Structure 1
Amino acid sequence: MPDRTSRLILPIVVITGVAVTATGAYLDQRPEPPPAASERPRPPTTATLPPTAESTGLVRISYRLHRIPTHASNQLAVWIEDASGAYVRTLFATSFTANGGYNRRPESLVRWRETSGWEWATEEEIESASRPAQDSGEHTLYWDGTDSNGVPVRPGRYTYRVEGNVWWENRVLFTGTIEIGDRPHASEAEVAYLPEAAREEAVMVEDVRAEFTPGETLDPDDVTTYTRGS
């Protein structure tokens, strides 16, 4: 099994090892334009600082992915919530679902879509999170401590979640918490299977963990942007 690496920091994309089978066809599946922002069922977090404030540091969210060679699988979303459960930001979502594939496959990444109100997502949100399905291997996503509008969030405890569609409605959900502030922090996520019978399906994601480093930024010289796929 190849051991490849994927990295992503928003708003700069850092991604390697994406699946070469992804195509631009998914873009045609986007839903109708969303209603007014005030109608979005789950408003984003209010735990933000003034737009002129600086982020407290960098969060790494890492996991091992096993790409499953079948259809109706390999859909993945990684996102952040605040301590109250309000949506903060999506770090990664596979193109099929992020661009409206849920209209064809409603069981795809249900928890992420409900939490983020993704059916009401703006074009900017979709473009910042939507990426091709990843190849098998170790992957790391970077969160710079800002919300979906690019505004730094307050220090405190945040929840990171990784949801994957293993096969049709069978999903796996990892949940962990990370403290951002003036001290380093690390944690491992706990896993749940939705429904419980999904435990019997193939392993798609494992070893989900996060690490916060205060004051750290990612050197732009280390960033490579890939546009292969959709």
Structure 2
Amino acid sequence: MKRNLMGLFLSGLVAVGLLTGCGSEKKAPAPAAPAQTEAKGPLTLEYTFNKKEGKGTSQMAAWIEDKDGKLVRTLFATRYTTQKGYKKQALPQWVKKSGLAQLDKAKVDAFTKATPQSGKVTAGWDGKDDNGKSVPDGTYKLVVEATLYQDSDALWTGTFQKGGKEQTLDMKESLTKEPEKKENKDLITGVKAVYRP
């Protein structure tokens, strides 16, 4: 009887140890993924992304508009906004311009990207519209939007001549309002874009 009780006691200790993770060692954190690199085409966008923790931050999109302000091509938009039920304040300029709610899944999947790890990020434009057709030469605008925190967005815009000579875009920044979390203001820094025909 004592052996049965002792066996039951030891079995109970083993079960408790398994349930509480006894014997599990902490593993070293996985190395950070390399920065997102996806620059293809005559227009190259580059910036430094400083990922922030918490809800209502780290959402981004970049797109090309024609001279009349019509969206020509979405270069990328972050997955949380495109596929996980975005909040009204996330990327409001892009959501409105893109008509996100009416887009079919295949089109959304084509430009959806994961939120990048902190570091240098590059993206490019191949001179085509959202349907894969080459657009005519002329004046275009690159727009980058980032939700810094809740309803605070930053926009960077720069105009260029498709079909013209090599140009470094003058990327101008504007804020919808200062973010409540001041540390989120540097979500994106060093925004640069170059057009090389």
Indicate the TM-score class for this superposition, using the shorter chain for normalisation: 0.7 to 0.9
Shift of 1:142: 1.1
Aligned to 1:209: 192
> Which of the residues 118, 130, 154 maps onto 1:148?
130
Shift of 1:170: 1.2
| Identity percentage of aligned residues | 27
Aligned to 2:37: 7
RMSD: 2.0
The alignment partner of 1:198 has SS state of coil
Shift of 1:9: 5.3
Aligned to 1:132: 114
The alignment partner of 1:5 has SS state of coil
Normalised by the length of structure 1, the TM-score is: 0.66
Q: Which structure: greater helix fraction?
A: 2
Cα gap change, 1:157 to 1:128, in 2 (>3 Å)? same
The alignment partner of 1:152 has SS state of coil
CA contact (8 A) 1:64 1:137 kept: yes
Aligned to 1:107: 89
Cα gap change, 1:98 to 1:157, in 2 (>3 Å)? same
Aligned to 2:78: 94
> How far apart, CA to CA, are the structure 2 residues paired with 1:199 and 1:71?
13
* Map 1:1-230 → 2, pairs under 5 A: 4-8=34-38, 58-102=42-86, 105-195=87-177, 197-198=178-179, 201=182, 202=184, 203-214=186-197
The alignment partner of 1:111 has SS state of helix
CA contact (8 A) 1:164 1:172 kept: yes
> How far apart, CA to CA, are the structure 1 residues paired with 2:115 and 2:191?
17
- The letter for the 1-side match of 2:66 is D
Normalised by the length of structure 2, the TM-score is: 0.77
> How far apart, CA to CA, are the structure 2 residues paired with 1:3 and 1:209?
22
Shift of 1:8: 2.3
> How far apart, CA to CA, are the structure 1 residues paired with 2:190 and 2:156?
9
Shift of 1:175: 0.9
Structure 1 residue ranges without an equivalent (≥5): 11-56, 215-230
Cα gap change, 1:199 to 1:86, in 2 (>3 Å)? farther
The alignment partner of 1:101 has SS state of coil
CA contact (8 A) 1:95 1:133 kept: yes
Cα gap change, 1:156 to 1:169, in 2 (>3 Å)? same
> How far apart, CA to CA, are the structure 1 residues paired with 2:162 and 2:128?
11
> How far apart, CA to CA, are the structure 2 residues paired with 1:146 and 1:9?
14
> How far apart, CA to CA, are the structure 2 residues paired with 1:59 and 1:199?
33
- The letter for the 2-side match of 1:139 is V
> How far apart, CA to CA, are the structure 2 residues paired with 1:138 and 1:9?
12
Structure 2 residue ranges without an equivalent (≥5): 1-31
